[in-house]
Amino acid sequence: MKHAFLIIAHRNWNQLVFLLKQLDDERNDIYIHIDSKVNNIPYKLINSSVKKSNIKVLKKYKVYWGSFELVQTELFLLKQAIKNHYSYYHLLSGADLMIKSKKYFFDFFEKNKGYEFISYASNQRLSNDKEILRRVKYYHFFTNYRRRFRKKIFNKFFDFIERFSLCIQILLGINRLKKTTKEIKYGSQWFSITDDCAKYIISCEDEIYKIFHKTKCADELFIQTLIYNSNFENKLFNRKYDGDCLANVRLIDIDERGKNGSPYIWCITDYPEIKKSKCIFARKFDFNVDSQIINEIMKETGNKNG
């Protein structure tokens, strides 16, 4: 089996090297998208981090939290990779690490080949959190402008304009959901999917733009929605729709210890929990916050030299 790793990165290059060394294998190819806002990219460091994998470093979109550029980046990476027909496509961030050995990884996906590893939030979560459906129900014209400015006064201005726009749409009875027959679903943006599934997603690009352009945090919606409303739903590894981390084999804590929608940063005190997990990947790590946990995981996964 051949695997493609699609990595979205924008900083902490020395930490990214740890992930690349974990992935380095003749059965793995690596596609990295680096935020086009970033300058002084250490291409030599990145490319020299792997000896066996083919690696391609790409730079196309300016990526902002919650913006549609994240969806475009994922589609762009998938388009680049499907040209080479892999068994699986794994979307990761530059702040991720493998928490299992290469042997465990390859054995797991060989044993479970054909399944789609996509995480879904529970139906109760969707019912209780009205904000999730509002992301798609109304046009979010100004989401792409938030966080683009260093001065908070500009961000506050666009926040105000965004709220004003939403109020007007509510008064006018705007409802974009009436334009689609698909049931909207929500979950973690990180996935491991088969070649057929990847090609299906790309084939739906026009529909993705129609439903999710000018929405907020569409990266957590578009793949879940497409797959749930397709035959691939029958091939999900976990069909419980309860946010179980095994659904996409990624250990991520946003709800309990995460802050403001950002995932919790794992520390050395969490090592027993990480080691016990049946997941293959985990996020988020930060070498500047806790380097010891990263070093321990590198040793545990057979990368003793980091």
Neighbours of 287 (CB within 10 A): 17
- CATH number of the structural domain 3-125+186-300: 3.90.550
For residue 3, give the nearest of 156, 173, 267, 191 by alpha carbon.
Answer: 191
Q: In angstroms, rounded to a whole number, what is the distance separating the alpha carbons of residues 201 and 208?
A: 9
Predicted pLDDT at 262: 81
- Indicate the pTM of the whole model: 0.93
* Angle CA 139–146–176, to nearest 5: 10
14-17 long-range CB contacts below 8 Å, 24 or more apart?
A: 14/45, 14/287, 15/94, 15/95, 15/285, 15/286, 15/287, 15/294, 16/46, 16/49, 16/94, 17/45, 17/46, 17/49
Token readout for 288 is: 């500047």
Q: Which residues of the chain have pLDDT under 70?
A: 144-155, 258-261, 304-306
Provide the CA 200 distance to its chain's centre, in angstroms: 18
CB 227 within 8 A of CB 247: no
Place of tokens 């790309």: 202
Predicted pLDDT at 141: 85
Q: In angstroms, rounded to a whole number, what is the distance separating the alpha carbons of residues 165 and 167?
A: 5
